[in-house]
Amino acid sequence: MTALIIVDLTPTDKDKLSVYSAVAVETLVSYGGEVLAKGPIEALHGESAFQTKLVIQFPDRDSAMSWYHSAAYQEIIPVRDQGMKSQFHLVG
């Protein structure tokens, strides 16, 4: 069953975020990850604590978890944390 990682984020350093984003997209390939959507949040109900949402699709839950815990992704987490405040959610 397809799994999604939903990322809620607010940029804090656009230069660091650009570096992180470029490398992060490359790490998805080996795990079958694909960015489905990215953009500003328009809340239809309630308030959002973040400005932007990112939706990444994986073939299954194991692929999503393997990507997140991979050495390549873990290596860029410090840059991620410098570039944005975020929450990551696994669905599916």
User: What's the pTM?
Assistant: 0.93
| Helix (H) or strand (E) run with residue 35 in it | strand 34-40
pLDDT at position 31? 98
First vs last C-alpha separation in the chain: 7
What single-letter amino acid sits at 17?
L
pLDDT at position 77? 98
pLDDT above 90 covers a percentage of the chain that reads: 100
Phi-psi region of 54 (alpha: psi -120 to 50; beta: other; left: phi over 0): beta
pLDDT at position 72? 98
- What are 38's strand-pairing partners? 54
Q: What are phi and psi of 26, to 5 degrees?
A: -65, -35
Map out the domains of the chain with their CATH numbers.
Answer: 3-91 (3.30.70.100)
Q: 5 falls in which pLDDT band (50, 70, 90)?
A: very high
